[in-house]
Structure 1
């Protein structure tokens, strides 16, 4: 596979090198087809000339729109998604750090759940307002920094799940705190970039019809052709589609910057000597939007956590999230009297039935058999769904999701 060229990478990264200059670079694909859909990820080996004239190697990641795949360019709408993700790094993280410092936190306590940022652009034209094929976002290479990606064929255990939820709670709490403490900054600099993202609007009628047919056929296998059960579940899919089409969410107790795609492949961990996870990074904020943060909780738990772990610890994991959420609000001096645990659980019960169809649908993407995936990114399409119909691991996972969701009254 030929690797896309990054034109004038120097102008993007040089302002973030503390006086250093990019001299040259080489690039290769970072991910394989099936591990990433909405972008093109390159591992970049950059040669940097430091102010003292020494040449040093700097491992980076360059994230491009899906330049090699016309279908995914259409579906993932880079004209919106690239700008949203760039703003997470350009504006949201610096404003969160200012908020934390203003509240008296030391630098070692600052929010660190995103990779280090090395610049971005939406076009070679500095005056452009529309994303084109020269858009790029540059970050640290987390693998070289000691972080490991998960395996989409192996769901998380309790330790990983609890750590993710605690970090997720901080990611959700701090934008809420920013909205409360600095409403003008939030309203003018942040909120406009995180509008609702509806992938359905970019799919043709035939594609949507094919996907509905696939979902019904999957549910027939999972439920042993139980028409009543299939009807109830399909109603949840309709609720999710209706949610995507709703007006923008209003400010509320539980409304924050929601990632909307937090599953195994978008979380990377660093481990201690006992191979226990200690810290993590969230990546891929392309479809982040302003909504109830419970969408992230439910999608993560039902897309990425071992079913037995989830069934045995659902309430414990919710409590872990809630405790971390309250702690992070208090840390930046935001009152928490309105955030009762009962109110939080009620929000889970409200949003859970809307969100549950999302991990059900994604199961076929997450657990797709590697042998059904093409070798080249340009050959990826939605046939990945039909190619994996009836796969035992997928059918079992969907069955597990339905069982646990019913147990906790999300269906």
Structure 2
């Protein structure tokens, strides 16, 4: 079981995004149950913030930090995945926003699949190049905007599945558009952070455990539907073969992919909660 980390110098990470407000105090709790997310450490930050006039107010954030267990470190590969996740919010998301504005897309029609970004770091060491145990990524807590976390043992119905696929299609299309319409920006600023790699390859035993547990989850969620289990097993094999294969540079549909697009990484907001 992961022990909640002590976050050092949190104010330095989030205060640049607070528009003049400051971090007064905070505490942390587990955001997910141990084992739910295969070693990823997700924590809830309950922060008391202070306006310049002294008024205090409360806000929640979500933080992702590297695992402290060496086994999980090899499995998650924070030395690469932390850099990719940071680049999503610091480099890719702003570039896609500019792309949509320049294309004349109204703001209310922009892709809105990203949570608000509060800040990140890879180390307490200034100008560090390597990820260490003090790395952190901080986002808004979408629960405060009436988003509901998905449950790993509750399969999506058709409307939820279609909505998730729509968002992923938009993300892929925007990434392709950025590559084609702004090739210099894509090659110099975006692509260096998103090189393809075989994640989980450094921890084959943990990878095998994850695949076996996923198939067991499918069995339980589908009442032992053997056709479904067989299909998921086939797709899993094809996916990891794809990750291990070299990039096809001549594919005109090359895009940036999530690589971990599953229930525990999806949240939904329902209209009935907005009244």
Q: TM-score range by the shorter chain?
A: 0.7 to 0.9
> Offset at 1:236?
7.3
State how far apart, in whole Å, the 2-side matches of 1:181 and 1:34 are: 42
5 Å-filtered alignment, 1:303-314, equals none
1:27 aligns to 2:36 (yes or no): no
Deviations, residues 21-56 of structure 1 (Å, cap 9, x unaligned): 112111101100232124211111111112333211
CA contact (8 A) 1:38 1:72 kept: yes
State how far apart, in whole Å, the 2-side matches of 1:149 and 1:78 are: 23
Moved more, 162-171 or 51-60: 51-60
> Offset at 1:66?
1.4
The corresponding residue for 1:159 is 159
* TM-score, normalising length: structure 2: 0.85
The corresponding residue for 1:253 is 252
Unaligned runs of 5+ in 1: 224-229, 277-411
Deviations, residues 359-409 of structure 1 (Å, cap 9, x unaligned): xxxxxxxxxxxxxxxxxxxxxxxxxxxxxxxxxxxxxxxxxxxxxxxxxxx
Three-state SS of the structure 1 residue aligned to 2:144 is: coil
User: Structure 1 249/33 Cα, relative in aligned 2: closer, same or farther at 3 Å?
Assistant: farther
How many aligned positions are there?
Answer: 263
The corresponding residue for 1:10 is 11
The corresponding residue for 1:77 is 77
> Offset at 1:199?
3.1
Moved more, 160-169 or 246-255: 246-255
5 Å-filtered alignment, 1:196-345, equals 196-203=196-203, 207=205, 240-250=239-249, 252-273=251-272
Structure with greater Cα Rg: 1
State how far apart, in whole Å, the 2-side matches of 1:20 and 1:168 are: 35
Three-state SS of the structure 2 residue aligned to 1:255 is: coil
CA contact (8 A) 2:200 2:207 kept: no
User: Structure 1 59/213 Cα, relative in aligned 2: closer, same or farther at 3 Å?
Assistant: closer
1:117 aligns to 2:125 (yes or no): no
The corresponding residue for 1:41 is 42
The runs of at least 4 consecutive aligned structure 1 residues that moved more than 3 Å come to 208-215, 232-242
State how far apart, in whole Å, the 2-side matches of 1:139 and 1:152 are: 22
* TM-score, normalising length: structure 1: 0.58
Unaligned runs of 5+ in 2: 217-223
Deviations, residues 338-366 of structure 1 (Å, cap 9, x unaligned): xxxxxxxxxxxxxxxxxxxxxxxxxxxxx
Moved more, 158-167 or 81-90: 158-167
Deviations, residues 101-131 of structure 1 (Å, cap 9, x unaligned): 1112233222210111000000011211000
* RMSD value, Cα: 3.0
The corresponding residue for 1:60 is 61
Three-state SS of the structure 1 residue aligned to 2:24 is: strand
> Offset at 1:252?
2.8
State how far apart, in whole Å, the 2-side matches of 1:127 and 1:197 are: 25
The corresponding residue for 2:130 is 130
The corresponding residue for 2:221 is none
